[in-house]
Structure 1
């Protein structure tokens, strides 16, 4: 005996819930992936900038080299465009990272899905939002003081850029502020670089330990490099 045909009302009730949730899930999934890739790629660009920035700043260890580098850099007509591009990348990274962090917090069952399969969450992974906000404050103060010469750490009378940097870092508050700031950068990157690899799909068991070590090495190397400049300024007494 053939089954009775469903009424128009029952057909609508059956088909509508099936199609709508799937479409919504697909849209949300693509949006989430896009945001994560944008965070990863903008983060990669910022890591590249940090290495270039560190290389330029390490020239302060060579008398006269830093001021020559700074003069050539500021004489370049491309500098304003580079600064605008860097600012845009930074804003995208911060904004989307906060959006992803909030979405991750709201989706509690999936919050530590990766950590559960790869071991316990680390201090760096648990404090990503905290270190990220710390770095944001650090960058704002750093730009205000170093680029716009806001006398935040004393009001030194200087003639060159190297004198401004050295006297800033020789100031007790300046040394403490920059040491804490670059350490926050290092901790943030030690997990941020690892998250970049995860987003790109490099999360196999074979490469997990190696990429974890590489991520921590990137964070430690950058932090140590900038801390070296702080120590150098303190040893020289700002001269």
Structure 2
């Protein structure tokens, strides 16, 4: 009798994924791409402080590993995170990673870091102190339920409609409501299609604005009034850190 080997079974290669992020330059690239934009290799090389050829090599590995997607416009090549699920995985991993001390070179740099912790984009949804406070307030008002993971209640759906936010996200290929572990707060904020819709509404309605090309999100006076009115958020959460202490 001839023996036959058992059929191979595919299993997740977690070590390969970890290897992609084990390099500090590749990890820094993924964190930068959490702003949701498409970057060129030159921009990422400048951001991470490596030569363009080195950046290109790292990007090839990240694209081949499925973490990044490549886009081309004419002669220009851009990369972005592969999708919302990838962004949420990167943010969640960052929340579990030990904090590494980095030098603060100027007062402006210190303000930027505090602003990033206060409110920032996490791919297509809001993260930071304000995002966690919004999630907490929605839970306290029974707009969110956590019985089987986060989910909108009937009151939550009505609340979204009252704000003018469409709640029909069928066919988008993504979770309706998800939680994302915030790397600065070490607590969950709202993600998924509803989290993205809330950030889009805040930007479109003038409640908030992006700060240049950074991930920082600045609340406007109108936005602070709206979040006080609709969710009861206190000033110590809503005011920017340089003004709020």
When you count helix as a share of all residues, which structure comes out higher? 1
Give TM-score scaled by structure 1 length. Answer: 0.29
Choose between structure 1 and 2 for higher RCO, CA contacts under 8 A separated by at least 6 residues.
1
